[in-house]
Amino acid sequence: MAVRDLDALPGGAEKSLSTLLLGLEKNSENWNIEVFQSNDRKKASKLFDNSTINIKKCDIKIEDVYSGLAWRFRNRNTGRSLKRLRKIHLKKKNKDFFNWLKIELSKTKQNAEEQNERLLGVTQLDWSAGASSAFIDAKIPYITFVRDEVCFEYPELFRECLENAERVIVAGEGLALQVKDKFSINKISIVHLPVDFEKLYPFEKLKGKSEEAKLFRDNNHLTNPRIAIVGMVPEKGFEFYNKKFIPKLKEIWPEATLHVYGGGIYAKKLSKYENTIDEGYRSPEEIYPYCDIHLFRLDRIGTWGRVINEAGYFSKPTISIDIGSQSEAVGNGGVVMPNESSAEEWINQIKEIYNDLERYSKLAFEHSPIVDSKSSINEFITVLDGVFND
């Protein structure tokens, strides 16, 4: 497994891959797992504390002067880093990762040959171009996950990675269509994002938590509609919220409030509106029971919002956008809006969900097991076996 980072406090893609690897370790005795990554994330997640997975780290820094300048000169409307400078950053980091990884893989390959073992590479995200080049150089077959939009933003950097992979893995059929439309893929497979709901929050405590949240809202007279956004970064609708949605919400539905969780500069920017509150970082059980509807938007690439199904576990419906795999993630537990829908149309639809909240809440909970970790781990193992059998 060769990635930029995995054992640090992770984002959704890192968290999902960690869950798959730990599930593979637990459910199959035929695999030895080695992870190659940067040591630049100082605070570990402790996900691998009780694991036999061997993690090897390099001294390559995750950020550099080019990524810093790309951020500094970012588009002030969208919040996106300056594309030209970020491309230089990505090229440099992938080259550095390749140079380090090819030496490590030569050792791994020699050991595997001595032990009569077969090798398979796995990679994803920003450093996958360098990782795949090292796999190709070592003649190791590999698979790659598409978890975000970096390969669409810089297809010239990631084309070889995707088009030479034995298998490309995505979380849903909608994203699979987007990938196949852009790249010449050998084979593509679906592995849903794995969410271990028991670790997220114990099932037997859900009812009590809902009652606790209701009591808190009643005691504090929080009777207004509360809409939650979990995680605010540029590609997750910042410009739409900032320029269109929030001002229109104040006009059309003044009693509703928007609550942005996760912290960061973009949450803070949105909180300049009086109907929007930057709630900072909170755990899922401190978010969803205290809101009514979950709002999730992507700008261009519909990867799969795992927060959609986390919200569903707490019986909170989601309104999202009809790109890529969002329709599959939401299912009947909410509504997906056409890409060209106006802010007013989004708000009117949210009001309709709110007026039928009990039914949508039930449907959201019933749909959430689509990302059950046991099923996703089995899908992952099936893909790995299929690559070797091919």
What domain range is 129 assigned to? Answer: 12-194+373-389
Residues 271, 190 share a domain:
no
Q: Is residue 362 part of a domain?
A: yes
pLDDT of residue 300: 78
The amino acid sitting at 101 is: L
Q: What is the CATH number of the domain that holds 173?
A: 3.40.50
Residues 230, 242 share a domain:
yes
In which region does residue 264 sit, left (phi positive, over 0), alpha (psi from -120 to 50) or beta (all else)?
left
Residues 318, 234 share a domain:
yes
Residues 381, 360 share a domain:
no
Residue reference for tokens 């969002």: 326
The whole-model pTM stands at: 0.88
Residues 293, 183 share a domain:
no
Q: Is residue 1 part of a domain?
A: no
Q: Is residue 345 part of a domain?
A: yes
Residues 285, 178 share a domain:
no
Which residues of the chain are modeled with pLDDT < 50?
none
Q: What is the CATH number of the domain that holds 341?
A: 3.40.50.2000
Q: Is residue 2 part of a domain?
A: no
Q: Is residue 35 part of a domain?
A: yes
pLDDT of residue 93: 98
Residues 172, 57 share a domain:
yes
pLDDT of residue 301: 78
Phi, psi of 104 (to 5 degrees): -65, -40
Helices and strands: H and E segment counts in the chain: 17, 12
Q: Is residue 258 part of a domain?
A: yes
Residues 308, 233 share a domain:
yes
In order, the DSSP letters of 189-205 are EE-PPPB-HHHHS-GGG
Q: How far apart are CA 281 and CA 346, in angstroms?
A: 26
Measure the CA dihedral 119/104/15/50, to 10°: 90
Residues 300, 211 share a domain:
yes
How many domains would you assign to the chain? 2
Q: Is residue 311 part of a domain?
A: yes
Residues 230, 179 share a domain:
no
